[in-house]
Amino acid sequence: MHTFRRSAALLALSAGAVASLPALAADELHYNQIALRAEVSQEVARDLMIVTLYTEEQNTDPAKLAADVSTTMNKALAQAKQVKDITLRQGSRNSYPIYDTKGQKITGWRERAELRLESSDFAALSKLTGELLTDLKMAGMDFAIATPTRKASEDALLKDAVSAFKARAQLATDALGGKGYKIVNLNLNSNGYPQPYMRGPMMMKAASMDAAPVTPEVEAGTSQVSMTADGSIEVLMP
Distances (CA, A) of 163 to 39, 44, 175, 186, 228: 10, 20, 18, 12, 11
**Amino acid 7: pLDDT:** 44
Q: Torsions phi, psi of 205, nearest 5?
A: -130, 120
Tens of pLDDT along the chain (238 residues) come to 544 444 443 334 344 444 444 554 555 545 789 999 999 999 898 999 999 999 999 999 999 999 999 999 999 999 999 999 999 988 899 999 999 888 889 999 999 999 999 999 999 999 999 999 999 999 999 999 998 998 899 899 999 999 999 999 999 999 999 999 999 999 999 875 555 555 544 344 444 434 455 555 566 778 888 999 999 999 999 8
**Amino acid 202: pLDDT:** 39
Q: What is the pLDDT of residues 131-147, one digit of tens each?
A: 999 999 999 999 999 98
**Spatial CA neighbour of 146 closest among 126, 117, 120:** 120
How many beta carbons lie within 10 A of that of residue 78, not counting itself?
9
Of 3.10.20, 3.30.160, 3.30.70, 2.40.50, the CATH number of 48-145+196-221 is 3.30.70
Q: Are 102 and 96 in contact (CB under 8 A)?
A: no
Rounded Cα distance, 184 and 62, in Å: 67
Helix axes 122-132, 62-80, angle to 10 degrees: 150
